[in-house]
């Protein structure tokens, strides 16, 4: 609120000041081979919780994104932990994502998420528990759609 | 794996190299006044998700910890995002926590969590959804118990 506070703020770096290279708070894990056929580019998956609530840390190399998909019944909450990326629901403008952002994805909503072209990106994905929950994977996000995003709406 | 890799590793800081001062990936939010009566010291609470799955970012000042408590029915998953802290279940040694650690807390288990004496600490807390879930708050962690932790078991 005053000059001396401003100075101390700029001299102490915070976690989000660090250029994100894919190695963040949560370990990156190995290549996400189980879901590779639903991704354009290379992603990494490290499961953080397999019981009670399923939680995974997903890291995307620059340009990597998942295919359009739908979470049936449950939905998913994304907690962005590093880098810059995108979230888009069908028929809506893409939303730019940075560390600290949260996306609460409703069930039955066609969408995709992934890295910006020039940045690594990571989010923790919390699966919303629901009886009979399933994921439906659809078509890839085309290069044409993806390449337009640079100057897109920043949410 | 070789000298040049080692050098590049040490020259590029990662998110966890930054001294944690309470301001991390997720905004700290305001003082956690709603639950202050169940905490020793000052904590901060920023809700990240209020629908589908309840998720909050909890930040503890050095020395701050919550009272012994029990999650009935659901349980809770803690994702540690900064600093150094402790998690302890009744009758077990305390486990030291650092950024990247995950604690999967079963329901019906008496426990507490909080900061180390000399460090800020933050975790994202994911509530496990369950019908009829509730929290039971018990007695404070005494200074005597807490002060012993410096040279405790490191899990």
What are A91-142's pLDDT values in tens digits? 999 999 999 999 999 999 999 999 999 999 999 999 999 999 999 999 999 9
CB contact under 8 A, B18 and A23: no
CB contact under 8 A, B74 and A81: no
CA atoms of B34 and B144, how far apart (whole Å) = 26
Q: What's the pLDDT score for residue A15?
A: 73
Which carries the bigger pLDDT value, residue B128 or residue B17? Answer: B128
**Environment class of B98 (CB within 10 Å of its CB; exposed 0-12, middle 13-18, buried 19+):** middle
Mean of pLDDT values over A22-41: 96
Residue of chain B nearest A18, judged by CA positions: B15
In residues, how long is chain A? 155
Distance of CA A12 to the CA centre of its chain: 27
Whether the predicted model's global pTM rises above the 0.80 cut: yes
Tell me how close the Cα of A57 comes to any Cα of chain B, in angstroms: 10
Nearest to B100 by CA among A59, A62, A45, A57: A57
CA atoms of B65 and B68, how far apart (whole Å) = 9
CB contact under 8 A, A26 and B52: no
Q: What's the pLDDT score for residue A2?
A: 38
Minimum-distance CB partner of B52 among A26, A100, A128: A128
CB contact under 8 A, B55 and A79: yes
- Helix-, strand-, coil-residue percentages of chain B, each rounded to 5: 15, 40, 45
Express as a percent the part of chain A with pLDDT over 90.
84
Dihedral angle, C-alpha B124, B129, B130, B131, nearest 10 °? 120
CB contact under 8 A, A52 and B128: yes
Express as a percent the part of chain B with pLDDT over 70.
88
Q: What's the pLDDT score for residue A17?
A: 73
Minimum-distance CB partner of B77 among A17, A27, A52: A52
Which carries the bigger pLDDT value, residue A1 or residue B106? Answer: B106
Phi, psi (deg, nearest 5) at residue B57: -95, 120
Tokens 């640079």: give the residue.
A150
| Cα–Cα distances in angstroms (integers) from residue B86 to residues B121, B150, B155, in the given order | 9, 10, 10
Q: What's the pLDDT score for residue B11?
A: 55
Give B17's pLDDT tier (boundaries 50, 70, 90): confident
Tell me how close the Cα of B14 comes to any Cα of chain A, in angstroms: 6
**Element housing A6 (H / E):** helix A3-11
CB neighbour burial string for A9-36, b if at least 16 within 10 angstroms, e if fewer = eeeeebbbebebbbbbbbebbeebeebe
Q: What's the pLDDT score for residue A155?
A: 43
Nearest to B57 by CA among A53, A20, A79: A79
Mean of pLDDT values over B95-102: 97
- A47 Cβ partners below 8 Å, 6+ apart? A29, A54, A55, A56, A57
């Amino acid at each position: 609120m005053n000059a001396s506070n401003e100075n101390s703020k700029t001299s102490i770096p915070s976690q989000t000041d660090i250029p994100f290279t894919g190695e963040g708070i949560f370990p990156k894990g190995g290549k996400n081979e189980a879901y590779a056929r639903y991704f354009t580019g290379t992603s990494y998956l490290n499961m953080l919780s397999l019981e009670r609530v399923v939680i995974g840390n997903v890291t995307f190399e620059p340009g990597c994104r998942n295919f359009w998909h739908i979470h049936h019944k449950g939905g998913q909450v994304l907690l962005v932990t590093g880098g810059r990326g995108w979230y888009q629901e069908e028929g809506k403008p893409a939303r730019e994502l940075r560390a600290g952002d949260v996306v609460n994805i409703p069930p039955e909503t066609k969408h995709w998420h992934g890295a910006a072209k020039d940045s690594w990106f990571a989010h923790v994905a919390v699966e919303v528990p629901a009886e009979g929950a399933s994921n439906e994977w659809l078509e890839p996000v085309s290069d044409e759609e993806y390449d337009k995003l640079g100057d897109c709406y920043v949410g």
